[in-house]
Amino acid sequence: MNEFRLHLPQSDLDDLADRLSRTRWPDELPGAGDDYGIPLARVRALADRWLKFDWRAHEDELNAYPQFVTEIGGDRVDFMHLRHPDPAALPIVLTHGWPGSTVEFLDVVDRLAEHFHVVVPAIPGFGLSGPTTRRGWSQQRVAEAWAELMASLGYRRYGAQGGDWGSGISRHLAGAAPDNVVGVHINYLPTPGSPDGLSPADQARLAKTMELAKNRHPHQLLFASGPQTPAYALNDSPTGLLAFWADKFDRWSDPATPVPDDRILADVAHHWFHRTAASSARLVKESGVNVPVTCAAPLGVAVLPADITQAIRPLVEQRYDVRHWTEFPRGGHFAALEVPDLFAEDVTTFFRTLDNR
């Protein structure tokens, strides 16, 4: 385990600028809006902003936090680690999703570090952790790696938090280390089930959930069947990667709380510079569909109104020990980026209640 400071070679930044400036732009139907995908004007504006983006300032922001790199299961894991002055403070591990990275938590780590030891790892194959070199990096395997990481840091009792992939990984972590995980807080949880006994509002949520289950996102189908195929384009064209990633940030966030453009660009840059378009996509194929998750730990759930889907409490309570439930007034799929104050407050409330501190 070694300390790590991010400083990319200037040649990498120059290569990015050159590629962006030579983008061969596609055509677009007049008045298409977003009917056919992310609009041309939106991507042009983001690409222009990326050319002016101060990557060195972003490096300084990251390097202000203690960062480390280690190897688990033969692959690299990069993580931030903020220790609380009180050694007895509860540790929590925060797990991002796709198309995210550790950038997702930059607006909340300071708030959370006021109460907890905070560990923020990059999923193997994502961003700073770099591409994976072995098969088998599923949600379950990542959870096992987190258990190994937390043990190596000396933590025997800790909480887990996540959305998107982080939701599944955090729940798997509770199953992989049941004697260590004191609670799991999630901000994304699809809940299929029976409509019997549900309120009209919950029945509407269930219909949305079942529609999502029946019609998976096209990128998931692509990544599940052949993640290597789109990787050639995404790894070669920064504009292509930007369009693919930004489309999800735009579509999955609350229009009232959009993810700031500079956070989108920082996240995309993490995947561009570290060449993780292919390896991050492999997590879909490796994880499979409808894999059962064992999680007996107390559960805290934050439900965001503009997320891809909203959890249904009666159905969640059939499977989990729900101790905390919050319906946010705003926000979408990227809670920590969209509503960092609400997110940090909810996570803090849940874990401090469990920790009796």
The answer to whether position 23 is within a domain reads no
211-220 pLDDT, tens per residue? Answer: 888 878 888 8
Q: What is the pLDDT of residue 215?
A: 79
Element at 336 (helix H, strand E): helix 335-338
In 3D space, the residue among 165, 189, 175 whose CA is nearest the CA of residue 322 turns out to be 189
| 254 is a domain residue | yes
Question: For the segment 182-211, what is each residue's pLDDT rounded down to a tens digit?
Answer: 999 999 999 998 999 999 999 999 999 998
Tokens of 284: 């879909």
CA-wise closest residue to 82 among 131, 34, 117, 106:
117
The yes-or-no verdict on residue 231 having pLDDT over 90 is yes
pLDDT digits (tens, 9 = 90+) for 81-96: 999 999 999 999 999 9
* pLDDT one-digit tens code per residue, 321-345: 999 999 999 999 999 999 999 999 9
CA dist., res. 118 & res. 150, Å (int): 11
Residue 70 lies in a domain: yes
Distance separating alpha carbons of residues 303 and 98, to the nearest angstrom = 18
pTM of the shown model: 0.96
Whether pLDDT at 3 is above 80: yes
Q: Does position 357 have pLDDT exceeding 70, yes or no?
A: no
Structural domain boundaries, residue 312: 2-16+38-355
Residue 43 included in any domain: yes
CATH code of 257's domain? 3.40.50.1820
Q: How many residues does the chain have?
A: 357
In a domain, 210, yes or no: yes
pLDDT of residue 356: 62
The structural domain count of the chain equals: 1
CA atoms within 13 A on the CB side of 131: 12
Report yes or no on 33 lying in a domain.
no
CB 115 within 8 A of CB 38: no
- Write the pLDDT tens digit of every residue in 105-164: 999 999 999 999 999 999 999 999 999 999 999 999 999 999 999 999 999 999 999 999
278 inside domain: yes
pLDDT tens digits, 295-319: 999 999 999 999 999 999 999 999 9
In a domain, 192, yes or no: yes
3-state DSSP of 165-193:
HHHHHHHHHHHHCCCCEEEEEECCCCCCC
CA nearest neighbour of 321 among 201, 213, 171, 132? 171
